[in-house]
Structure 1
Amino acid sequence: MVEYRDILEKSKKDALYGREISPPHVKKDKCIGCGLCVDICAALVFELREKKSEVIYGEKCNACGHCWAICSEEAVTQPQVITTTSLRPGSEPAVSADSLQLLIRERRSVRLFNDNAVSKEDLIKIINAGRYAPTSSNRQAVNYIVLSNQQKISKLRSSVENFMEKTFKMMENRAIAFFYKMKYGPLAVDLLRHYAINYQILKTRKEKKAYFPLPFGSAVIIVHSQSFDSLAQFNCAIALYNCSLMAHSMGLGSCFMGFVQIGINMDKKIKHWLDIPKGNQAYGAMVIGHPNVKYRRLVERKEPNIRWL
């Protein structure tokens, strides 16, 4: 058991969580022995002993806050998760299923924006929606880069465009195309060729930069995390989607920009300019702004492919 604890402690020091985590504390005089904290804890921190909850493996705690949130007697405490807000969950969900479904369907990709700036306060509110997204093992390892300066956004746009120009030109070489197919798969090559055709068409149109590779929005949010984490892409995608829903609820538009993400990860100069740490990778990019268009109708999607077992 000593060896296990040493390994666990070292893994935390090696930035498994990237933050200081203190074990929870149980106030025995308040604990009624219901066992909810024992049952709810995915890290197996608690055990019920002599009809009282007890912290046994405090070093395994990932500070998810389930124990503190579920305790009816406020017998469990942990500094990292105690909030100062007076808000509490209601007896019913804050949003009805129909309202949430409508919000999800209303949110669409926006690529045309007016010149009004998005305030820093609004951007923080949007990022806070990502902050409260779930992450694997509650690692909370999603990092955000925000570009709200138009000169820097223009530099990002031109850098990604230059990368795309070079990439599309290289794809004309059969040997390089074969290498890309072996490394990234045939679908990736087909997509690159598809976008190369679109790009050539857009180059002839003066308004091309309204769409490609990065729309003229007020701000760009880039999310990045450790590349060694097999679930980093999952964590970042959920966080960024939360941000897009919050932006829509605030009357703002957003659009996920796949080529910006690809350009950042494949062009070391862009990655260095954005100061993304070594060992980290961009897992999403999204432009935000005040929409210059209004979608008037909801659209249908194809039926989900479900296999019931």
Structure 2
Amino acid sequence: MSGRMRLRMLPENTGILRSPLHFENADVGGEMVIFNQEKCILCRKCMQDCYPQAIQKENEKMTVSGECMLCGHCVAICPKGAVSICDYEDEPEEYIKEKFQIESDNMLHMIKFRRSIRNYREKIVEREKLEMMIEAGRYTATVSNRQEISYIVVQDKKNELKHMVLKKVEQYVNGENAVQWQEKLFRNASVIIYIVGDNAINAGLAAQNMELMAATLGLGIFYNGYLTKISGSFTEIREFLQIGEKEIQLCFMAGYPAVEYRRTAPRKKPEILWM
């Protein structure tokens, strides 16, 4: 597993993965951001790029006030690698154009070619691929760098979740319709991923990056509003997912597609106001 990411299994092999939150209160910049004075050349690039204006030059040293939100821009922009944030475990990666850049045409074609997958092969998704998807979500922008999003990945205990959900559904529909709901809710997918947090925009942005990563790994996903609503509405399911008072913002199925698409699908022309 990558050293940049640490996921922990919940007790008793529940088959649910969670990613930890990094911090609850961002008003700790002065304690967390560290300047290596031997490397620092006082170029002030970090100060100029600091959105909350938390970095100052004092007594021939760069310092940070309590307004810092630990966004890491100072780490990323420093030409000498003189800045670090002690609250984060992952090591920054140096920018290498050949490694980091994606051709714009290739990116657009991948976006055009993606489809919502409703039919999956009977194949388990490897843990390494799930971790790469969550890594893509973890590095997504969040409002005020809150990084409050967490993930619940259900694969080993999928059948237990399915039974629990369908038992609730059967209270409201008859037997024939219950079978249809089983197809509608789970679609034979190998894994179900919940994105949990208190901001729908943060969750949606993370999910989009996760979907793009899934496409590069040969996986497909299907956003499931029905399952999102049901899972968040019943105490028994919430307890099974161990989400406490947090809210499920969305969930999606993931797995290996059992269908092969040959071309992109048509779309309406965009409505654009150029001003």
The CA distance in 1 between the partners of 2:122 and 2:97, in whole Å, is 42
SS at match of 2:52: coil
**Aligned in 2, Cα 1:102/1:160: closer, same or farther, shift over 3 Å?**
farther
In structure 2, the partner of 1:301 is 267
**Aligned in 2, Cα 1:95/1:151: closer, same or farther, shift over 3 Å?**
same
TM-fit CA distance, 1:262: 1.4
TM-fit CA distance, 1:283: 0.5
- Give yes or no for contact 1:109–1:254 (8 Å, CA) kept in 2: yes
- Give yes or no for contact 1:127–1:243 (8 Å, CA) kept in 2: yes
TM-fit CA distance, 1:307: 2.6
Deviation by residue 1:250-307 (Cα, 9 ceiling, x = unmatched):
11111110111111233333223322111x1111101111111011110122222223
- Give yes or no for contact 2:27–2:68 (8 Å, CA) kept in 1: no
1:215 and 2:221 matched: no
* Equivalent position amino acid for 1:282 in 2: I
The CA distance in 2 between the partners of 1:18 and 1:143, in whole Å, is 21
- Give yes or no for contact 2:185–2:226 (8 Å, CA) kept in 1: yes
1:158 and 2:130 matched: no
Deviation by residue 1:10-56 (Cα, 9 ceiling, x = unmatched):
xxxx9345999943122344333322101211232212346x55214
The CA distance in 1 between the partners of 2:30 and 2:182, in whole Å, is 46
1:25 to 34, 44, 64: 34
Give the count of matched residue pairs: 251
SS at match of 2:185: coil
In structure 2, the partner of 1:267 is 234
**Aligned in 2, Cα 1:236/1:20: closer, same or farther, shift over 3 Å?**
farther
1:90 to 86, 91, 96: 96
**Aligned in 2, Cα 1:295/1:22: closer, same or farther, shift over 3 Å?**
farther
TM-fit CA distance, 1:111: 1.0
In structure 2, the partner of 1:190 is none
The CA distance in 2 between the partners of 1:124 and 1:82, in whole Å, is 16
SS at match of 2:248: strand
1:108 and 2:107 matched: no
In structure 2, the partner of 1:283 is 249
The CA distance in 1 between the partners of 2:137 and 2:155, in whole Å, is 18
- Give yes or no for contact 2:29–2:68 (8 Å, CA) kept in 1: no
**Aligned in 2, Cα 1:73/1:305: closer, same or farther, shift over 3 Å?**
same
SS at match of 1:89: coil
**Aligned in 2, Cα 1:288/1:139: closer, same or farther, shift over 3 Å?**
same
- Give yes or no for contact 1:130–1:243 (8 Å, CA) kept in 2: yes
**Aligned in 2, Cα 1:156/1:109: closer, same or farther, shift over 3 Å?**
farther
Give the structure-2-normalised TM-score: 0.79
1:55 to 63, 67, 77: 63
* Equivalent position amino acid for 2:261 in 1: Y
SS at match of 2:212: helix
**Aligned in 2, Cα 1:106/1:18: closer, same or farther, shift over 3 Å?**
farther
In structure 2, the partner of 1:203 is 177
1:75 and 2:68 matched: no
In structure 2, the partner of 1:242 is 209
- Compare CA radii of gyration and give the structure with the larger one: 1
* Equivalent position amino acid for 1:142 in 2: I
Gaps of 5+ in 1: 1-13, 170-199, 227-231
In structure 2, the partner of 1:42 is 51
* Equivalent position amino acid for 2:191 in 1: A
**Aligned in 2, Cα 1:292/1:283: closer, same or farther, shift over 3 Å?**
same
- Give yes or no for contact 1:252–1:291 (8 Å, CA) kept in 2: yes
TM-fit CA distance, 1:213: 2.1
The CA distance in 1 between the partners of 2:41 and 2:30, in whole Å, is 26
Instruction: Please identify which structure carries the higher helix content.
Output: 1
TM-fit CA distance, 1:209: 3.7
- Give yes or no for contact 2:46–2:78 (8 Å, CA) kept in 1: yes
SS at match of 1:291: coil
- Give yes or no for contact 1:110–1:255 (8 Å, CA) kept in 2: yes
